[in-house]
């Protein structure tokens, strides 16, 4: 790539990661073309609407469409011709055997390759197993229609894994703890450092405080390792929660006591119905497969997964142990998304629990501040589900309230009022959201996790 050529960026796949990345770079002053193959989604974004719930992103979309620095297309050729840094943010879902399905990346690499006529830096931002970038480079090179010279000189592949959290996506883009850049051509350091320069200036940080340059494999492994470690913390504290339940201790106090040690840290030491979402479960599963492929004993991570899987049945059994057969019992469900701050229900423990409760023929009054539309699409028509207008509406006539997502607004409910709505004053707090004493004082029987 001509080092004096003006930098322009194309981002492929405008989901949570892609749209955030595209708008983030555009807001930092770069010209960005967003490419989305789902035409309905693409048109929505072109019209200034965000197809998912993410704090602050609607305003940033409006601002950057208006400035003219961000444009949207479905045309891969247009984007490849007009940009020199091409960032791939397509999905890498879990395949049936647990491995990462990298077919969206492979298809995209094929199409990008077919349209390359001058040097491009292709960035793999999607989370994918070690060695994926090497496979993508082969696909890119074999699809370039080039009569003169070697294709090798037309493409550099770089891995910049994404660490953002849904619900905090923009905050995380503009305030990263670190940016990992995996590359095999270290001549690109200046160019890549340059696209992050406005961000570093905004943060008041030096390059060395935020940017980590490494080789491609280490960058790929660092993303899987981060998610496997976070999953481990959650399963670890849930294992301790099981012990606390057995002996009558309080896991919240245990978690607090160890979390205050800076060597351990309190983040992700949150007992509950387990981790879910579009990343941790599938990345853990994919990393376990990476261990198998490379003949490394990753059985430790299999245990992490097993502990997490057990959360669903443990929680349902806790409810059955108190209420008995759930057939025709009415349960108020608070929360469906996999965590607060998002409408994402992919691999949400709440959804798995709700699906089991329907199988057990319970009647449900469900509430979620944002995820109802996604849930309706997922679950289809069911005469066992009533969609509540408000958290309190979900509690009318119920035999118990089930807290499945720790939305902060549930904490604002007045349990004196709720006490008059419910049939039976029982609460199964799957996220340890509430203070047990507070609810007991309001006349509720409180059941938390490991306390
Ligand atoms: N969601 C997160 O919180 C998060 C965080 C860190 C990393 N990641 C990783 O980032 C990647 C993307 O995640 P996501 O949640 O944004 O995925 P997503 O599935 O929400 O979005 C991907 C988008 O890519 C589009 N797409 C697919 N093929 C395309 C093509 N050929 N051209 C243009 N668009 C195409 C899809 O239509 C979709 O809109 C995944 O690998 C994921 O594991 C996600």
333 HSE (CA, 13 A, CB side) = 31
pLDDT at 2 over 60: no
User: 10 Å Cβ neighbour count for 337?
Assistant: 29
Q: pLDDT for 226-258, tens place per residue? A: 999 999 999 999 999 999 999 999 999 999 999
Antiparallel, parallel or unpaired: β 385-387 and 400-403 = unpaired
Among the options 81, 89, 244, 279, which is catalytic?
Answer: 279
Q: Whose CA is nearest to atom 7 of ligand 1?
A: 162
Mutate to test the pocket of ligand 1, among 16, 92, 176 (most ligand atoms within 8 A of CB): 16
Q: pLDDT for 285-311, tens place per residue? A: 999 999 999 999 999 999 999 999 999
| Distance between Cα 359 and ligand 1 center (Å) | 32
Domains of the chain, CATH where assigned = 8-214 (3.40.50.720), 229-447 (3.40.50.720)
Mutate to test the pocket of ligand 1, among 12, 15, 78 (most ligand atoms within 8 A of CB): 15
**SS3 annotation, 157-173:** EEECCCCCCCCCHHHHH
Query: What pTM does this model have?
Result: 0.94
Strand order in the sheet with 400-403: 385-387, 363-367, 330-334, 400-403, 426-429, 445-447
Q: Whose CA is nearest to atom 37 of ligand 1?
A: 38
Q: Predicted confidence band at 1 (pLDDT cuts at 50, 70, 90)?
A: low
Helix, strand, coil percent content, the chain, rounded in steps of 5: 45, 15, 40
pLDDT at 3 over 60: no
> Which atom belonging to ligand 1 lies closest to the Cα atom of 128?
41
| Distance between Cα 320 and ligand 1 center (Å) | 38
| Distance between Cα 102 and ligand 1 center (Å) | 11
Return the pLDDT at 11. 98
Q: What is the mean pLDDT of residues 198-227?
A: 97
- Please, is 420 exposed, middle or buried when counting C-beta atoms within 10 Å of its C-beta (0-12, 13-18, 19+)? exposed
Residue 235 sits at the vertex; the CA angle it makes with 164 and 319, to the nearest 5 degrees, is 110
Two structure tokens written together for 91: 């999905």
Q: Which residue, 122, 125, 162, is CA-closest to 138?
A: 122
Q: Whose CA is nearest to atom 32 of ligand 1?
A: 37
> Which atom belonging to ligand 1 lies closest to the Cα atom of 125?
10
Buried b (16+ CB within 10 A) or exposed e, 295-325: eeebeebeebbebbebbbebbbebbeeebee
> Which atom belonging to ligand 1 lies closest to the Cα atom of 38?
37
Q: Whose CA is nearest to atom 18 of ligand 1?
A: 15
| Distance between Cα 106 and ligand 1 center (Å) | 13
Return the pLDDT at 31. 97
CA distance 183 to 152: 15
Whether 81 sits among the annotated catalytic residues: the reply is no
Q: Whose CA is nearest to atom 23 of ligand 1?
A: 13
Return the pLDDT at 336. 98
Would you say how long the chain is, in residues? 451
Q: pLDDT for 320-338, tens place per residue? A: 999 999 999 999 999 999 9
Q: Predicted confidence band at 4 (pLDDT cuts at 50, 70, 90)?
A: low
Q: What is the mean pLDDT of residues 8-34?
A: 97
User: 10 Å Cβ neighbour count for 436?
Assistant: 18
DSSP track, 366-400: EE-SS-HHHHHHHH---TTEEE-SSTTGGGTT-SE
CA distance 306 to 300: 10
DSSP three-state, residue 401: strand
> Which atom belonging to ligand 1 lies closest to the Cα atom of 161?
7
Mean pLDDT, all residues of the chain: 96
Q: What is the mean pLDDT of residues 160-171?
A: 96
DSSP three-state, residue 190: helix
| Distance between Cα 412 and ligand 1 center (Å) | 34
| Distance between Cα 427 and ligand 1 center (Å) | 37
> Which atom belonging to ligand 1 lies closest to the Cα atom of 163?
6
Instruction: Ligand 1: list residues with CB < 6 Å.
Output: 12-18, 35-38, 41, 89-92, 104, 107-108, 126-127, 162, 164, 166, 278-279
Residue 295 sits at the vertex; the CA angle it makes with 289 and 297, to the nearest 5 degrees, is 80
| Distance between Cα 270 and ligand 1 center (Å) | 27
């Amino acid at each position: 790539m001509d080092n004096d050529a003006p930098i322009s960026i194309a981002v492929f796949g405008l989901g949570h990661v892609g749209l955030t990345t595209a708008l983030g770079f555009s807001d930092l002053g770069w010209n960005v073309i967003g490419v989305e193959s789902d035409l309905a989604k693409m048109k929505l974004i072109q019209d200034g609407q965000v197809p998912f719930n993410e704090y602050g992103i609607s305003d940033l979309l409006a601002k950057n469409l208006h400035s003219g620095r961000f444009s949207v297309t479905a045309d891969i050729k247009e984007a490849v011709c007009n940009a020199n840094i091409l960032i791939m943010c397509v999905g890498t879902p879990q395949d049936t055997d647990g491995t990462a399905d990298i077919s969206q990346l492979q298809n995209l690499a094929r199409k990008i390759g077919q349209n390359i006529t001058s040097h491009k830096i292709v960035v793999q931002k999607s989370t994918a197993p070690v060695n994926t970038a090497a496979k993508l480079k082969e696909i890119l090179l074999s699809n370039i229609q080039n009569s003169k010279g070697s294709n090798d000189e037309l493409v550099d592949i770089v891995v910049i894994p994404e660490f953002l959290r849904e619900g905090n996506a923009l905050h995380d883009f503009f305030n990263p703890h670190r940016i990992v850049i995996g590359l095999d051509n270290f001549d690109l350091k200046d160019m890549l450092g340059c696209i992050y320069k406005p961000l570093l200036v905004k943060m008041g940080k030096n390059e060395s405080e935020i940017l980590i340059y490494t080789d491609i494999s280490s960058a790929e492994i660092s993303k899987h390792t981060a998610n496997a470690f976070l999953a481990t913390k959650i399963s670890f504290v849930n294992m301790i929660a099981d012990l606390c339940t057995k002996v009558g201790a309080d896991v919240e106090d245990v978690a607090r006591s160890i979390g205050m040690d800076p060597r351990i840290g309190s983040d992700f030491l949150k007992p509950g119905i387990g981790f879910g979402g579009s990343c941790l479960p599938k990345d853990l599963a994919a990393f376990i497969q990476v261990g198998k492929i490379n003949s490394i004993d990753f059985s430790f991570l299999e245990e992490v997964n097993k502990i997490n899987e057990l959360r669903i049945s443990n929680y349902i059994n806790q409810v059955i142990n108190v209420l008995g057969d759930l057939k025709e019992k009415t349960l108020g469900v608070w929360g469906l998304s996999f965590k607060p701050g998002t409408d994402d229900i992919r691999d949400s423990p709440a959804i798995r629990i709700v699906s089991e409760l329907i199988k057990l023929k319970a009647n449900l009054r469900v509430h979620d501040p944002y995820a109802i539309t996604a849930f309706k699409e997922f679950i289809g028509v069911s005469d066992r589900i009533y969609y509540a207008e408000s958290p309190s509406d979900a509690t009318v006539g119920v035999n118990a309230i089930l807290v499945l997502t720790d939305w902060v607004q549930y904490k604002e409910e007045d349990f004196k009022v709720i006490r008059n709505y419910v049939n039976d004053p029982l609460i199964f707090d799957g996220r340890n959201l509430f203070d047990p004493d507070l609810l007991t004082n309001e006349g509720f029987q409180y059941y938390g996790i490991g306390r």
